[in-house]
Amino acid sequence: MIKLVRLLDRLDMAEVPAAALYMERHLDRTPVILYDIIRPDDLEIELWGKMDTLNPGGSFKDRGAEYFMKKRMESGELQYGDTVVTAS
């Protein structure tokens, strides 16, 4: 049986601290690297790159997908064994 789960629900701003805490506890931080240092005029600017490709799914979407799945499991919309298909 195919279930359709609504993807358009937005995260309520009141949920942001709880979502951030959940991510901190369950997912590794995405590595960052120093990409370059540029020196225009009398400034020194460091350019850093976030290495999203090193995330388990190779994408910045890992955190959002993890939290989405957690919330849908808690609500009963999804159960263990269900198949989830997403476009990337």
pLDDT digits (tens, 9 = 90+) for 28-84: 778 889 999 999 888 999 999 988 777 766 666 777 778 888 888 888 888 888 887
C-alpha distances out from residue 76 to 19, 32, 54, 69, 71, Å: 18, 36, 31, 10, 9
Q: What's the burial of 85, exposed, middle or buried (CB within 10 Å: 0-12/13-18/19+)?
A: exposed
Return the pLDDT at 31.
84
Domain containing 32: what range? Answer: 13-75
Q: Which two tokens stand for residue 66?
A: 């993890």
Q: How many domains does the chain have?
A: 1
pLDDT greater than 80 at residue 6: no
3-state secondary structure of 17: helix
In a domain, 84, yes or no: no
Q: Please state the length of the chain.
A: 88
In a domain, 87, yes or no: no
In a domain, 60, yes or no: yes
Return the pLDDT at 60.
61
